[in-house]
Amino acid sequence: MYLAIFRFIQVVLGISTGGVVLSTILGIVGYLSTRFGKICSIVITGVAILLAVFWFYYVSFYFWCIGRETFIFTKYPKDIPIHAKEIHFTILPILLIPVIVVVFMLGAMVSIHNFDEDRKRMENERRESEMKAEERDMDLDAELGDMELDFEK
């Protein structure tokens, strides 16, 4: 069981590392694409949950190792004495907390981004600019028509 937990932590670390890289790419794709926005936000939030699971198991495993005064060994080594003070806490769990928060917030931002309003706003802006361009063209045509009449006189 001891090695199974250790192997689980290793596998989840690898998947989480790939997930963090993937979530940054999916964050961009999901924010820009109306088609893939919801799917990307679900995947990014899933990566944040996976990171939280990794953090929980890593910290639990660390304290469990301190309590048993062993680290990676299945049997207690008789030749190498290990004491709890020799098992040092790494900075990884401390650095992982802000990463979990940032990835979760990225998923939330992609999720709450209202694509319909942006699409409608962009269509309205395009229509307004086309109408202004048509009005400008009509004004220029009218001015040119007046100039032609003045020139003919």
pLDDT surpassing 70 at residue 83: no
Question: Is residue 48 a contact partner of residue 107, using CB atoms and an 8 Å limit?
Answer: yes
Domain that holds residue 120: 115-152
pLDDT in tens, 33-49: 878 888 999 999 999 99
pLDDT in tens, 94-127: 899 999 999 999 999 988 876 666 677 778 888 8
120 and 107 together in one domain? no
26 and 90 together in one domain? yes
75 and 50 together in one domain? yes
71 is written with which tokens?
A: 């680290």
57 and 125 together in one domain? no
pLDDT, residue 137, reads 77
Q: What is the DSSP letter of 69?
A: T
92 and 64 together in one domain? yes
State whether residue 53 is helix, strand or coil. helix
98 and 122 together in one domain? no
90 and 119 together in one domain? no
Mean pLDDT computed over 76-102: 75
33 and 52 together in one domain? yes
pLDDT surpassing 70 at residue 1: no
- CA distance to 7, 72, 73, 103, per residue, from 3 (Å): 6, 8, 8, 29
Question: Higher pLDDT residue, 55 or 86?
Answer: 55
pLDDT, residue 101, reads 95
* pTM of this prediction exceeds 0.95: no
Domain count, the chain: 2
Mean pLDDT computed over 148-153: 54
121 and 54 together in one domain? no
85 and 147 together in one domain? no
